[in-house]
Amino acid sequence: MGDNKQGGHQALYRKYRSKKLSEIVGQEHITTTLQNALKKGAVNHAYLFTGPRGTGKTSVARILAHELNNLPYETKQHLDIIEIDAASNRRIEDIRDLREKVNIAPINAKYKVYIIDEVHMLTTESFNALLKTLEEPPKHVIFILATTEIHKLPATILSRTQKHSFRLVPINKVSKHLRHISDQENINIDDDALDILAEHGGGSFRDSISLLDQVSMSSDHVTVEYLNQLLGLAPDIYLEKILSHTKTGDWSSIKSILNDLEERGLTANMIAEQLIKYLSKLIYSSPDRQILNILNNLMEVNGAYYPKLKLDSVLIEAAMANMTSEQSPQQPTQYKSAEPKATTQETIPQLIKPKAEEEAPVEVNAEENIEAQKSSTEPKNSITEDITQIWPKILTTVKEKNNSLYTLLKSSEPALVDDTLTLKVRFPFHKKKLDDHKYKSIICETFEEITRSAPEVITEVNSSVKPPLIKPVDSAHASLISNVQDIMGGGEVINA
């Protein structure tokens, strides 16, 4: 928002822009150092200001340029204070032109100050040309370089500048500053609403003040509820309820909240981002394995091909992991595919690999028979338990360690033969996840705890693998079945 030439509204971030180093808020570790250096006359020939956008790098550079020359701060550009945008002046020719001009003495100031913004955008050739000037600069020239991406600067440039790292301003300081501006401008806004503005601004004064300017034009009284609607934010109570319902396995209520948020105009990416922020606060104050798993999965929503389905899948998985036996009916159900109905034997998941076909009997002498009987009774250092007996316990133990892995294992068909555990899954992305070294380590560790022997784990994709048997749900969970069907690629739910 710019100034109105007809004498109208002036953008608040311009009106309240600091004009002295002593007025800068939140960067005292920098301004104090610069003020002391100016008092002692210890001026450096090149400064490097680095840090996130909106933290005051360019503002401090302009103020420093004026205070170096004992000039009052003005918004219009001074002849001896030259600002260069490296994004649009990045060529070697531009820097060569600068090198020729630096030798010209200041017109009416002590120093000629060059402020180069977004300096990381310069080409390699331009950096090399600038380096020659930084190595032996004229005494009347001072460079102030600013960047948000210091890692892109050559080490030779870094070593020839005095670096100052700007940081995001604490939310409480931003909120306090917004209150000061609100009082000066007679803006009627609640303190809680100011906190939301400060947080939404991400620690940037410029962004936060611009938001305050925006909301002040849209309502005579800015409340939290109004601000949530205007900025497309989910109220904390919604986020709290989503987490609460995942812990009780109540997907139906979660879906209802998501629908409500979508009607407010929030996209899946926006909901995921706010859930991440909300859960991040909880994970530090009260560490929880399930919250950590949800957080990790929510990170993938933004880059998903279909963010809405990914968000639903993350929350469905979290809810399913916490469904209790009381929430589910007693009679199991299974999915019926579009193919002809299979026989009873085919519908039962293959938990044990079938033995090889019996070979023709071979005659052995008595000694060999006795020796074979002996060896069969000797204990072996291997997993001899029936997988059907130990698998439920394996799942229960894994669930305590990693909910995501637990859900994957529930949808797989395990087979244990000669200390080799084969996990058959329907989808390639399930195999990819199970092949992760972290997940395989948890599986082996769990087997060793229960059987005192760790198997070799291999995975394979098999389209004939049946979905896990899911206990039928009542009407309160009907939408859960519908969403699971979508994820599994369709199918009809029937009673077994």
Report the chain (496 residues): mean pLDDT per 10 consecutive residues. 53 86 90 93 92 89 92 80 82 77 86 91 85 86 93 91 91 91 91 88 85 86 85 83 88 89 85 88 82 89 88 89 57 47 46 47 51 47 66 88 85 84 84 85 87 85 64 50 57 51
pLDDT value at position 150? 92
pLDDT value at position 347? 44
Alpha carbon distances (Å) from 202 to 55, 195, 199, 206, 207 = 10, 11, 5, 10, 8
Q: How many helices (H) and strands (E) does the chain have?
A: 22, 10
CATH topology for 171-231? Helicase, Ruva Protein; domain 3 (1.10.8)
pLDDT value at position 483? 58
Within 10 Å of residue 182's Cβ, how many Cβ atoms? 20
Whose CA is closest to 397, among 457, 451, 319?
451
Decide which of 3.50.50.100, 3.30.300.180, 1.10.150.450, 3.40.50.620 is the CATH code for 381-461.
Answer: 3.30.300.180
The torsion of the CA quartet 92, 94, 98, 101, rounded to 10 degrees, works out to 120
pLDDT value at position 32? 94
Pairing of strands 420-425, 413-417: antiparallel
Decide which of 3.40.50.300, 3.30.420.40, 2.40.30.200, 3.40.50.620 is the CATH code for 12-165.
Answer: 3.40.50.300
CB 143 within 8 A of CB 153: no
pTM above 0.75, yes or no: no
pLDDT value at position 469? 47
Using CB atoms within 10 A of its CB, is residue 163 exposed (0-12), middle (13-18) or buried (19+)? Answer: middle
